[in-house]
Amino acid sequence: MSDSILTSVKKNLGLEEEYTAYDADVLTHINTVFTDLLAIGIGPPDGFFITDSTATWDQFLGVNEAKYGAVKTLMYLQVKNYFDPPQTSYHLTAAEEQIKKLEVRLNTMREDEEWTDPNPPLPSEEEL
């Protein structure tokens, strides 16, 4: 699963790999989605940024990652909404609902792997 992030997103948008006229726009939207994914704890802790087609999904998610499908779908849906939004409110609402559902699932998967207690125990008087 070490395919190029840019190339796979372009393919899902219906753009040929060799056609580079929109690469700057697509890259901008991809990097925006990386920021959204960082906010829910997906990807490297310091964030992720790409500038060309050399960055791969393995570099972003690591190898043997169970989140590949959901992350790729979320990336495509969000980039599609930014780059070429649906023309009807029905389709836009449907895409937004899928995005929300994927974000919740990915966040739940992350919490299952590395949950942090939001209310850690307070130190006792002896520890102070």
* CA 83 – CA 117 distance, rounded (Å): 38
pLDDT in tens, 34-50: 999 999 989 998 999 99
Secondary structure of residue 56 in the 3-state scheme = strand
Instruction: Express each pLDDT in 56-73 by its tens digit.
Output: 999 998 865 778 899 999
- 1 confidence band (pLDDT: 50, 70, 90): very low
The Cα–Cα gap between 80 and 13 comes to: 7
d(CA 83, CA 113): 33
- Tell me 4's DSSP state: B
Contact 12, 74 (CB under 8 A): no
SS3 111: helix
pTM: 0.83
